[in-house]
Chain A
Amino acid sequence: MLAFLLKRTANAAFVMLAVALLAFLIFRSFGDPVEMMVNEQATQEDRAELRERLGLNDGFFTQYVRFVTNAVQGDFGISYRNQQDVMVLIAERLPATFELVLVATVISLVVGIPLGVVTAVHRDSRLADALQLTSIVGVSLPSFVVGILLILAFSVTLGWLPAFGRGETVDIGWWSTGLLTPSGRAALVLPAVSLSTFQITLVMRLVRAEMLETLRTDYVKFARARGVPRGRVHWVHALRNCLMPVITLTGMQIGNLIAFALVTETVFQWPGMGLLFIQAVTFVDIPVMAAYLMLVSFIFVVLNTIVDVTYAWVDPRLRDDTAKAGGSNG
């Protein structure tokens, strides 16, 4: 087991180094940092001097090593755009994205699980068909369209909920939360709902598939035969078996949600990491882009490693790295 753990950790480290290389490579060819930083009125000598000071004339490998050593210490330099420390910038925006993803995940579970159970239990009813149709529509709608529609309906027409920003936030130490104020909670609703639509359908379908299988098993039939009420059978006994895959799916999807939040953040002007990244792309703000890429990949890798290790711990057959069909991101 220890060997497996070490192996996976080494694997993860290697992957992170490769990601760092990719980030470094891509960003070298992306716009010119010197032009970004100088006033339009700067002369050629000014530019050459700045290039020297930034170390842009050093060798490729030297710059890469410098990049990685700094990154490991959390030092990504300062943003070209507003000259603030990149890690501080990202840390400031992390709570916003995190809370958005958290609320979206909760919504997807709270809505998706019951719906999944219903569609499985009442398999061939009108209700199930309607829900199935809704779920397909949910998967087919791009999240930015959902966001725009929600704004149009609830913000512009009805005026119930705000269209942008986080509302008032409360600072707890370094973290800023919107969950403690009414305006903060109101501001969370539309973005979280918009982000959760895709996830709801995923959860719903998974629960449905798992429930259908579980409902066919012997122990469920025995429970019914023993006279356990239908409700209890479905919602307590059968559902418990489905939860493990759902939890796994949700865990692995958190990384994806964090990344996908950047679309929602763009539509709602939500001040999270994703919006920061998109703005960095627009502004060719290389340090911020590199930091975001590394951070999100790191979260992904950590989550995946945890899932792999947990599975291997639970099921020893998986401990040697044989054929695992299907990627973890589907």
Chain B
Amino acid sequence: MKLRHFLLITAASSALALPVQAQNILDWGANRDIGSLDPYSFGDSFTINVLNHVYEGLVRYDRDLGIEPALATSWEILDDQVTWRFTLREGVTFHNGNTFTAEDVQASLERVSHETSPLKGNLPAYVSSEVVDDYTIDITLNGTYPLLLNDLTNIHIFDREWLVENNAELPTDIGAGVEGYATYNANGTGPFVVESRQPEAQTVFMVNPDWWDDPQHNLDGFVLRPVTSPATRVAALLSGEIDFTNDAPVQDLPRLEASPDVNVLEGVDLRTVMIGFPFRDTLASGEPNPFADIRVREAMYKAIDLDLIHERIMRGKSRIAGAVVAPPIPGYSEDLDTVPAYDLEGAKALLAEAGVPEGLSFEFNCLSDGLVNEEQFCQAIASMWSRLGLEPQLDVAPRAVQSPKRTGGNTDVYTLGWATLPMLDSYSPLIQIFHSKEGNSGVFNWGDWSYPELDALVQAAGSELDLDTRLQLQNEAMQIIKDNHIMIPLHQQPMAWAVTDAVSDMPLFPDNKPRLWFARMGGDG
């Protein structure tokens, strides 16, 4: 007995004495930090993406971006067409040991669609839910809605008892000036557990050994470290201070590629970059607005040398786009993906025909922390429009400063990048951007346009359960967008991740979201 104890203790202590370097800890140098540990706190896809390592939804995307079961194993639509019944997975536990049941799903759904929840727009069709038994739940919607599963991939499930215990059943009440428990603490079902969080410095995630799924990764943990300066990020990668970044600056890719210790993973993002025009009577300055005239919009389109921007600003890494959604997205049609030729003289003629005065001044609103190289291509485009004889007033500022102007209609021409996430369907831009601004629709219709035929098509698609018919309707709507140049697409932006050779496998996903539960480290380290 004693000998056995002694041997066990020796074995245990020598195990503990193993150097920390034997662990596979991935240092992730991101371009920004997450806003909080609460996935319902912002409608910001990066935060939700990172927290997806800790929390999970009823369904999730697989390696090919198809929808597969996660916390729910199967589902069906009931006869009334507005209620969906989900059968939940058994044997799942939260990080604190509590069992996952239907009550947790209900508590989470109520929390995310509460009136004070910043995320409620992500689940617009939800009305109520009913617990049928421990592993079955019914979700009732406000109408027939084909895209519930897509929405649910981003709705993460909390443990009801944990929420109640910590007074977190309601979303964080900023108005009360109190932070929520979930801002600093996490308790999910996912492959990783939050070990520590220092905002803007680092957040440490350790592997969850009791995860219900088979890990395809071999990580013992990962550390999220925000490195906001792109040049610093590159330096850190080259020196090995970080192992992986999901945002390698485009201008440094050749240097990274040339380095023997670094691998660059490139692709084209689903995010399509577009320029929007105002359709109101006056510009922000009070002068008459010429952009409601289709000839003017066409002239602005023709005056942009898309090839030059692709080559010089995006360094050949973008994909010039003629359609407002990217090829992998359901609803994409090749016929619509055509681009007019660069034609400065033709553009000038159109402007003259439309009677636009020389030196017309308008605001061109861009983000400094938005799209890839946004500030640069905005400057280049402003320069191209100046050659038309116009005077664009370039206004570049962070999202926090620009959003109020955009949503309030206080600016003129603006940029917008749309990836259709999490829905992954061309319905997303149609209902959220191109539909007229009414209720929950057209929330991103910042130009205040209205095309009734388009609205009708979109509404029809919104309740059409047959896939082909729905896509056909959506296609017709996209044709209207193209013919009228409501917004002009520029390109799908480049996606560039980079890993050091400490990482042996990091699959690149078309939606630009790292999923470290597929990552592997090691080889020769």
Q: State the main secondary structure of chain B at its contact with A.
A: loop
Contact B174 A37 (CB under 8 A): yes
Interface-lining segment among A12-20, A235-243, A275-283: A275-283
Contact B35 A269 (CB under 8 A): no
Q: State in angstroms the CA–CA spacing of A285 and B184 once bound together.
A: 19
A269 surroundings in chain B (CB, below 8 A): 227-229, 232
Q: Does A185 contact B (CB under 8 A)?
A: no
Q: State the main secondary structure of chain A at its contact with B.
A: loop
The range of chain A's interface size is 35 or more
Q: State in angstroms the CA–CA spacing of A78 and B395 once bound together.
A: 29
Closest A residue to B182 by CB, please name it: A83
A190-244 contacts to B, CB under 8 A, are none
Contact B232 A54 (CB under 8 A): no
Q: State in angstroms the CA–CA spacing of A38 and B241 once bound together.
A: 36
Contact A78 B235 (CB under 8 A): no
Question: How many residues of chain B have a CB within 8 Å of chain A?
Answer: 47
Q: State in angstroms the CA–CA spacing of A93 and B241 once bound together.
A: 21
A241-294 contacts to B, CB under 8 A, are 268-269, 271, 275-276, 279, 282-285
Q: Does B357 contact A (CB under 8 A)?
A: no
Contact B41 A271 (CB under 8 A): no
CB distance from A101 to the nearest CB of B (A): 18
Q: Does A85 contact B (CB under 8 A)?
A: yes
Contact A92 B198 (CB under 8 A): yes
Contact A83 B179 (CB under 8 A): yes
Partner of B232, one of A32, A83, A163, A284: A163
Partner of A39, one of B43, B184, B200: B43
Q: State in angstroms the CA–CA spacing of A319 and B403 once bound together.
A: 54
Q: Does B348 contact A (CB under 8 A)?
A: no
Scan B153-186; emit 1 where CB is below 8 A from any A CB, else 0. Answer: 0000000000000000000111111111001100
Q: State in angstroms the CA–CA spacing of A85 and B183 once bound together.
A: 10
Given A164-B227, A164-B236: A40 and B180 within 8 A (CB)? no
CB distance from A157 to the nearest CB of B (A): 11
A16-36 contacts to B, CB under 8 A, are 31-32, 35-36
CB distance from B354 to the nearest CB of A (A): 32
Contact B403 A35 (CB under 8 A): yes
Q: State in angstroms the CA–CA spacing of A93 and B33 once bound together.
A: 15
Contact B184 A36 (CB under 8 A): no
Contact B174 A155 (CB under 8 A): no
Residue with the greatest number of chain A CB neighbours at <10 A, chosen from B184, B239, B440, B444: B239
Contact B407 A35 (CB under 8 A): yes
A85 surroundings in chain B (CB, below 8 A): 179
Q: State in angstroms the CA–CA spacing of A53 and B225 once bound together.
A: 34
CB distance from A165 to the nearest CB of B (A): 7
B35 surroundings in chain A (CB, below 8 A): 81-83
Residue with the greatest number of chain B CB neighbours at <10 A, chosen from A163, A166, A276: A163
Q: State in angstroms the CA–CA spacing of A50 and B177 once bound together.
A: 12
Contact B239 A159 (CB under 8 A): yes
Q: State in angstroms the CA–CA spacing of A188 and B131 once bound together.
A: 56
A42 surroundings in chain B (CB, below 8 A): 118, 121
Closest B residue to A283 by CB, please name it: B400
B199 surroundings in chain A (CB, below 8 A): 82, 84, 89, 92
A114 surroundings in chain B (CB, below 8 A): none
19 intermolecular pairs with C-beta atoms under 8 Å apart? A36-B403, A37-B118, A42-B118, A75-B177, A77-B177, A83-B41, A83-B183, A84-B184, A84-B199, A151-B235, A155-B235, A162-B236, A164-B229, A164-B236, A164-B241, A269-B229, A271-B200, A279-B228, A284-B401
A32-B404, A165-B201, A271-B198 are known; give 10 further A-B pairs, CB within 8 A: A31-B404, A35-B407, A78-B174, A81-B35, A84-B184, A163-B235, A163-B241, A164-B236, A269-B229, A276-B200
Interface residues of A (CB under 8 A from B): 31-32, 35-42, 46, 50, 53-54, 75, 77-78, 80-85, 89, 92-93, 151, 155-156, 159, 162-166, 268-269, 271, 275-276, 279, 282-285
5 A-B pairs closest in CB distance: A53-B175, A41-B121, A35-B404, A39-B43, A271-B201
